[in-house]
Structure 1
Amino acid sequence: MTTNYMSNYSYGPDCFKEIPEVLDKYKVHKVVFIGGEKALKSSQEDVKNVLESNGFYVTGSFVYGKNATQSNIDKLVEKSEVQDADIIFGFGGGRALDTVKMVAKALDKTIFTFPTICSNCSAGTAIAVLYKDDGSFDKYGYPDVPAHVFINTSVIAKAPKEYFWAGVGDGISKAPEVEHAVAAAVERGVELPHTAVLGAAIAASSKDAFYKYGEQGIKDVENGTVSKAIEEVALDIVVSTGYASNLVNQDDFYYNSCHAHAFYNATTAIKKEKEPLHGQVVSFGVMVLHAYFNELEELKKVAAFNKKLGLPVTLEEIGLKVSDAEKITELAMQTNEYKQTPFDKEKYIEAIKLADKMGSENA
């Protein structure tokens, strides 16, 4: 592939006003809404009013389901209102937007995304995490990148804080995972192409904002106050880590994630009393990553940051036990992350235990 597509984006509390101008470039008339139930309630009326007052027609509005599954994608693809629309507007967080991106791909339609929470970078990426109907990880899907993202910081500020909180937990994984995936490729003798080098640079640039603005951003979301901290974290999650993902995830290489997301994907197959949020688990996975590479200062930094924000620092906090370490590792060795960036089984088991031990000692 020699063409890379990246999402354009608008942001701020008034960014919905820019929809007609952006849409004009695509020469479309009919729009369909798909998203999470709460996400649609938070934004669709404002967006619909802007559209209808500017001559656009909304064919329908649909809740995507409860998870990003092939069965939910298939149901939406069959709806006549979705088929008849010129363009799809997707509302919500990661699972909703991953579903909508795959619907758009199946119907060869352009998609605009409206992240109503900032739990991950799905709003701007050309990758979708798909699950089986039982909730366990299934596979990655590869939709087209959304053409435009509308990051309304007023909507995000009013959303439940746990999603923003989990977004920070997921966001801190991007820089170290890309760094280690790239380093492993170089060690294998790979000469990195420009696309990968650029993606790695953007991933590295995303790191500091989470540690600088994360805590304040969470407090501001809790208070429903639009702020610089919310804006910086939202842009870091949706744009910076999203752009990085698109650049380091190509047909001929994958440096988008490694040890931390291998941990997360593995844990989805282990039944828990309550299923934690994606970023919640990934934040502990970042501790596992640093423990695996014996980066003890970074491990301490992440553990202290997680503890400060109330993110997990022990297995128990995500519904797991130390005795699960071997099973988690076996499952992690079946993931795409392991296939692209392999790791030593025993060393990974010990890394899980070390991360938990350090977290327990400082809990």
Structure 2
Amino acid sequence: MHTIPGPAKYIREDGLLRQAGSYIKEFGSSALFIGGKTALSIVEPLIKESLAESKIENKGFEWYGGECSWSQVERLCQIVQQKKPEVIIAVGGGKAIDTVKAVAFAEGLPVLAIPTIAATCAPSTPIAIMYDDEGTFIEISHRSKAPSLVLVDTEVIVRAPYRFLVAGIGDTLAKWFESSASVKKSEPTALNRSAVKLAHELYQLLLEKGPEAVATIKAGKVDQAVNDVIDSIILISGSVSGYGGDDCRTAAAHAIYSGLTIFPEVHDTYHGEIVAFGILAQLVLEGKSEEEIGELIAFYQQVELPYTLEDMAITDLSQDEWKRLGEVTVEIEDMENMPFAVTPEMVIHAVQGADRIGKKVKQQ
């Protein structure tokens, strides 16, 4: 048995980055920061003084390239080889962090994560979600390294647009719906049973605290609800995958997300927002009642998650586009985790069904 339940260490504090150097020095005396442009511009002034105080050589701040693609990983590996840092720091959101995790794996270096948004569990997982240079999903890669340390500064998280937290809620909700489906194909074990229980507790916590957390962060404040939701999104959701392993992987909701990325108009919608719609489609696929799906949509309305295709700028798909969506989606490896075989026609029916129910709720 082999499992990586999460990062070796996770710290969340207000103003944490002003002391980051004291944590980074445990892993090396020189550090290269790689991340998103906005994320780096926020983190750099907060961290520079701390690096100097801890006598850490600053090897620079590099943009990750905009997509978590193999071409960007290769480019960044060349920069790492030139600058020779002892530790790499991933800064930003999910794509940036996944890219750096893949670079760290390739170069055999420790990687630390500084998420600047609470939108995915990328800082707490050993996998990387890879795309092509245009943003279309291509694979889930295990050529990636789990961060040894995750530093979460709530002062930074609260400065980000609240929509990132909303997207994180959507992505984390999927842990329950997908793990409870995918585990049906496996023999019950201590690990996968615990993972599913944890996923259900996450689901219940988000229903309870999600609306309050969104309202609080919209006001530019932090309270315990915000802290609980941040921890749920970044750390605990990653632990579900860590404990459950291959038994509790992503399933139809993420497969449908990946399928929808073939449409360029959806690229302005965040990962977790699209996954949230994918959950609705997965529920249709599983034969859940319209009433049950409507109850989940009611929660989506509270936290501002999308629940129709139009909410994600997808309108008027042609017959060929529907056909392509169905064919692409069933080829995504996530779909293999469903406890029954799924055809392209079933995907089309599920997406159209979720959209129909969402439109019906809008009209009420």
Q: TM-score, normalised by structure 1?
A: 0.91
**SS state of the match for residue 283, structure 1?**
helix
- Give the 3 Å change call, closer, same or farther, for CA 336–53 of structure 1 in structure 2: same
Partner of 1:310: 304
Partner of 2:88: 88
Partner of 2:328: 331
- Structure 1 regions of 5+ residues with no counterpart? none
- Do 1:70 and 1:132's aligned partners in 2 also have CA atoms closer than 8 Å? yes
- Do 1:59 and 1:85's aligned partners in 2 also have CA atoms closer than 8 Å? yes
In 2, the alpha carbon distance for the partners of 1:106 and 1:70 equals 11
Greater shift, 161-170 or 79-88, is seen at 79-88
- Do 1:114 and 1:150's aligned partners in 2 also have CA atoms closer than 8 Å? yes
Shift of residue 240, structure 1, vs aligned partner: 0.9
**Aligned-pair Cα RMSD in Å:** 2.1
Structure 1 residue identity aligned to 2:356: K
Alignment of 1:236 with 2:260, yes or no, is no
- Structure 2 regions of 5+ residues with no counterpart? none
Shift of residue 124, structure 1, vs aligned partner: 1.0
Shift of residue 82, structure 1, vs aligned partner: 6.5
- Do 2:18 and 2:49's aligned partners in 1 also have CA atoms closer than 8 Å? no
Question: When the two structures are aligned, how many residues end up with a matched partner?
Answer: 354
Partner of 1:290: 283
Structure 2 residue identity aligned to 1:201: K
Where does 1:71-220 land on structure 2 (aligned, <5 Å)?
Answer: 71-80=71-80, 83-142=83-142, 143-183=144-184, 185=185, 190-220=186-216
Partner of 2:39: 39
Structure 2 residue identity aligned to 1:210: L
Structure 2 residue identity aligned to 1:231: N
**Deviations 1:106-158, CA, capped at 9 Å, x for gaps:** 11111110110011110111111111112211111221211111111110001
Greater shift, 293-302 or 62-71, is seen at 293-302
- Give the 3 Å change call, closer, same or farther, for CA 351–328 of structure 1 in structure 2: same
In 2, the alpha carbon distance for the partners of 1:24 and 1:60 equals 16
Structure 2 residue identity aligned to 1:303: I
Shift of residue 254, structure 1, vs aligned partner: 4.8
Partner of 1:258: 251
- Do 1:153 and 1:230's aligned partners in 2 also have CA atoms closer than 8 Å? no
Where does 1:259-278 land on structure 2 (aligned, <5 Å)?
Answer: 259-272=252-265, 275-278=268-271
In 1, the alpha carbon distance for the partners of 2:3 and 2:326 equals 36
In 2, the alpha carbon distance for the partners of 1:318 and 1:61 equals 33
- Do 2:3 and 2:243's aligned partners in 1 also have CA atoms closer than 8 Å? no
Q: TM-score, normalised by structure 2?
A: 0.90
Which of 337, 341, 346 pairs up with 1:340?
337
Shift of residue 96, structure 1, vs aligned partner: 0.6
- Do 1:59 and 1:81's aligned partners in 2 also have CA atoms closer than 8 Å? no
**SS state of the match for residue 120, structure 1?**
coil
**SS state of the match for residue 265, structure 2?**
coil
Shift of residue 326, structure 1, vs aligned partner: 4.0
**Deviations 1:254-276, CA, capped at 9 Å, x for gaps:** 53210100100011112327632
**Deviations 1:158-192, CA, capped at 9 Å, x for gaps:** 11122112111211111110111002x1xxxx324
Greater shift, 350-359 or 126-135, is seen at 350-359
Which of 218, 223, 226 pairs up with 1:227?
223
- Give the 3 Å change call, closer, same or farther, for CA 162–191 of structure 1 in structure 2: same
> What is the aligned-residue identity percentage?
25
- Do 2:335 and 2:342's aligned partners in 1 also have CA atoms closer than 8 Å? no
- Give the 3 Å change call, closer, same or farther, for CA 308–130 of structure 1 in structure 2: same
Greater shift, 338-347 or 312-321, is seen at 338-347
